[in-house]
Amino acid sequence: MEEGVAVIRIANPPVNALGAAVRAGLADALAHATADPEVRAILITAEGRTFIGGADITEFGKPAVPPTLPELIAALDACPKPVVAAIGGATLGGGLEMALACHARVASADAKLGLPEVKLGLVPGAGGTQRLPRLIGAAQALPLILEGTAVDAAQALRLGMVEEASEGDLLPAARRRALALAEAGGALPRIRDRQDRLGPREAFEAAAAAASKRAAGNPAALACIDCIRAAFEKPFDAALAFERETFLRLMQDERSKALRHVFFAERAIARIPGQPRDVMPRRVGRAAVVGAGTMGGGIAMVFANAGIPVTVIETAQEALDRGLARVAANYATSVQRGSLLPEERDRRMALIEGRLGLDAAATADVVVEAVFEDLGLKREIFAHLDRVARPGALLASNTSYLDIDAMAQATGRPGDVLGMHFFSPANVMKLLEVVRGAATSPDALATAVELGRRLGKVPVVVGACHGFVGNRMLARRTAQAERLLLEGAAPEEVDAALVEFGFRMGQFAMIDLAGLDIGWRVRKATGKTAPVADALCEAGRLGQKAGRGYYSYPDGARQGVPDPAVHELIGRIAAQLGIPRREIGREEITERLILPMIDEGARILEEGIAARPGDIDVVWLNGYGWPAWRGGPMYHGDVLGAATVARRLEAHAERSGDASLRPSTALDRLARDGQEFGALARATA
């Protein structure tokens, strides 16, 4: 205690989550400070880089352990002595709700404040929807609560979320604020009493109406709106009770359960099976990208965006100029949209240089090969890089499908070789599949994962096989989509089934956007065929860029329209192949697209290509648009049950005559034993 200010310090690494023990300790310390006549004011602070990362969500769905978070917050709110929150670092969810119950808030320059509960399918459940609107106005609070995004200290100060943003030492500033409150005397400022700060009801309702349209089908977002509306319609305690009831109801919602699975799965990917605990990543100060095509240019932007100088390498000046011009155009578009300042565009462009010849990779700490999918060419490139790259440089391929081990064998340093599979467009998509080869060293793997995070990606370690995790599963869906066309479904019916399931885009609309020639080139290289897709390519229907693919795009439209010519072409091919056509219902279409992916995931787990079912889910959530509220393909498989998945696949195989639909031995075993998909991962760990 100093100058009559008692300091309560939270120490619960790594993020000071408000678990039962922390809540009990806070309640006890608060009671002692309140009873101590020497204490004039109370300061709450925390150790580490986080004030309070939120509630302990491992407790969600379990019996409540007193004091609950609402009980602790009520005690803070009712404290007769001034309580000030000294907020350093992240203050999220229940942490911010606790800070809002204090009589004042002082933030450090690095503070981040937010209520991210909606991302878990929940509403703030300990007063967030009631106190924040009364502090900064309901119309201003609405987007913060609905989007779940955090604001920095400067924004928080402008909004009125904190009374002070300290550029210097946080604790002296917070102590001064606490003493000033103590010396002022009189009633302490409590947010619950600031009904007049809600702002005009009309402004809130206008914002809520627009938000409701965007949030249609999202029960958590709609519930957040209802809770904020209750601040206008109910006394504070009644509104608080309504918020809590809503929180507990959503806790049992299947969408919320799926989103909580996603939360844990995205944190579990940091734990890499088989990695020594003491392994350290290598230093990466400079990068090189081989290939200035769409992917190569996008990857170069990713490095520049992270502040890492990068050399883009090509074999011909014309290709290099074209690639760098595409990068410049991408940045210009961002400036035009207002998402990037011109000076930041210039800074990033200055970090990208173009060079001819692989010798330009000599100074790079990481080299990413991003040429087209030809294994022979890639092996030549890796053999050359082996000669010119500096010792210890990471040699990575951006291949989507091909054999990482074959590339590594072309070098004398296979431990430095792995896959870094970025997703298109590389400067936008979050997923990074880090492909561990048979000889990849632990420190090379650690370097790629740490670099992925530094680049703002979600890195998932996967094993080496054709297509790795994401594209291997996508291949099963693509094969079924093609087969469904031949059996009688139209492209728009297949796409509608996926959109109804929750994807933003259907299978064939996605292929049209990417270009049919990409898959055509891969099939030619691997000796595979897809009768409908191949026929469309041969007819010059290469997708949006050609104005026609599975759909037609009249006058350059971005939204495709069904084309009778495609329907006729599909019918002719089906007749040539002797496949009888029939009407196929929406449920069958959905199951035949989704269930084979789950089956392939079982194979992937059995083979050890993915370490955990959640790793597969993270891949599909961040790289392929799987709806987060369904938790991922393997989570969805567990919701259905392995026995149901196997039974339905068997039925579809029988009805369609497509033997590829029959369940794998891995899935059959889970179905027989009544196990979840995690059992396969445990068996291969």
Which are the catalytic amino acids?
97, 117
**Virtual torsion, Cα 272, 275, 280, 286, nearest 10 deg:** -60
CB 345 within 8 A of CB 366: no
Q: Decide: residue 169, CB within 10 A, 0-12 exposed, 13-18 middle, 19+ buried.
A: exposed
Cβ-Cβ contacts under 8 Å for 355 (sequence gap 6 or more)? 311, 312, 313, 314, 320
Q: SS3 of 105, please?
A: strand
Q: SS3 of 618, please?
A: helix
* Helix ranges restricted to H, 389-515: 404-408, 442-454, 470-487, 491-501, 507-514
Of 111, 130, 121, residue with least CA distance to 148: 121
- Per-position DSSP letters for 174-216, written without gaps between them: HHHHHHHHHHH-SSPP-GGG-GGGG--HHHHHHHHHHHHHHTT
CA distance 578 to 576: 6
Cα distances (angstroms) measured from residue 452 to each of 86, 270, 421, 455, 456? 33, 11, 10, 5, 6
Q: In terms of residues, how long is the chain?
A: 685
The amino acid sitting at 408 is: A
Handedness of CA 434, 440, 442, 443 (dihedral sign): negative
CB 405 within 8 A of CB 438: yes
CA distance 410 to 402: 14
Please identify which residue in the block is written with the tokens 């492209």: 491
Helix axes 294-305, 317-337, angle to 10 degrees: 50
Of 46, 214, 225, 2, residue with least CA distance to 123: 225
Of 143, 231, 245, residue with least CA distance to 191: 231
- Strands 287-290 vs 151-152: parallel, antiparallel or unpaired: unpaired
